[in-house]
Chain A
């Protein structure tokens, strides 16, 4: 069965420092991976996805993610954090083999301190 793990409930980083939000996955077949961000009392917004191709995927707002097949990871990164990046981040995996469901991780809350 497909699953997604976000091992950190919360990540704290100082503004201007690099940030990493971790995600590992388990999926049969090829993984289709996504990152979304959620601000308070709002819906999720799509940041980036990995379907195939380059292991480093670039997305919105300066975020990028690195796909590592051997470690089954898809960590979200940003070289220089902003206070406005503080939000809840979700990693998600789409079922392979023509499946329909998207499985979401439990979320990681990012706090960026000025």
Chain B
């Protein structure tokens, strides 16, 4: 079945450490997104990519970085500059980007905690 796979499901970060969250999709979607979910705040956009080798900052990009070297993959790195990284991170994809009003498909998330 087609879908989005996020790994790991749970991740722990030590102080000063960078960690990378994996997101892979086999839906042949062009657009991919990373969101951060905190209780009572809905989803906030971190980064998005409309096409391979291109990505844009979202509303809360500081302390995060991404790459989009392959259509299927959009990994997110949480750097040591992100001082409050504890959250539930969701990856999503959609058929295409601008002008497209198809829904987004979501992975099952990675829960990141600080040790």
Contact = CB atoms under 8 A, between A and B. Distances in A.
A105 B43 CA distance: 8
A104 interface: yes
Contacts of A45: 106
**Chain B contact patch, size range:** 20 to 34
Interface string A4-48: 000001000000000000000000000010101000011111100
Contact of A46 (B40, B41, B103): B103
B98 A32 contact: no
A99 B56 CA distance: 13
Interface in B14-29: none
A106 B41 contact: yes
Interface string A73-110: 00000000000000000100010001111101111000
Contacts, number: 54
A43 B4 contact: yes
B101 A43 contact: no
B42 A46 contact: no
B109 A42 contact: yes
B98 A100 contact: yes
B108 A41 contact: yes
15 contacts: A36-B106, A43-B4, A43-B107, A43-B109, A44-B43, A44-B90, A44-B92, A44-B104, A44-B106, A49-B101, A51-B101, A100-B97, A102-B104, A106-B40, A107-B42
Interface of B: 4, 6, 35, 40-43, 45, 48, 50, 58, 90, 92, 97-99, 101, 103-109, 111
Given A42-B109, A101-B45, 11 more contacts: A43-B4, A43-B6, A43-B90, A43-B106, A43-B107, A43-B108, A46-B104, A100-B48, A100-B98, A101-B58, A102-B104
